[in-house]
Amino acid sequence: MKIIIKTKNLELTDDLQSFIEKKIFSLKKFINILKYPDEGKTLAEIFVEVEKETKHHKKGNIFLVKSRIYLPGREIISQARGEDLFKAIVSAKDELKMEIEKYKFKKIDKNRRQQRKNKI
């Protein structure tokens, strides 16, 4: 699994990078079934963009976190805004988790429907 982090209007510190990688890497267990047959490598590529919307903003939702996962046949996108950068990262991760679970369920359910159809 490959994680690419991009920042806008703020500096990517080591603490911020390790926090993002730790939170996003926890999604690997949900994507684990989607692998190359021979190599055992995960197909997922995750792009995370963290930005401070404006430099002069004093109140309101200041931070924006956009994350995008490319899976076979699908692109999953999540977006979160918040006053706290770390809470915005966590909420973007939770949204990605829900979307990945939906994707996996549809993929598994499609196979089951096909098997039921062939059984009759």
Q: Provide the CATH number for the domain around residue 58.
A: 3.30.160.100
Please tell me the distance from the alpha carbon of residue 62 to that of residue 82, in angstroms, as a whole number: 6
| Claim: this prediction has a pTM higher than 0.75 | yes
Domain that holds residue 104: 2-119
Please tell me the distance from the alpha carbon of residue 69 to that of residue 101, in angstroms, as a whole number: 13
Number of domains in the chain: 1
Please write the tens of the pLDDT for every residue from 64-116. 999 998 877 788 899 999 888 999 999 999 999 998 888 878 777 777 777 77
pLDDT at 65: 94
Cα dihedral: 88, 89, 92, 94 (round 10):
-110
Q: Which of 2, 4, 10 is nearest to 86 (CA)?
A: 10
pLDDT at 86: 92
Q: Is 63 exposed, middle or buried (0-12, 13-18, 19+ CB in 10 A)?
A: buried
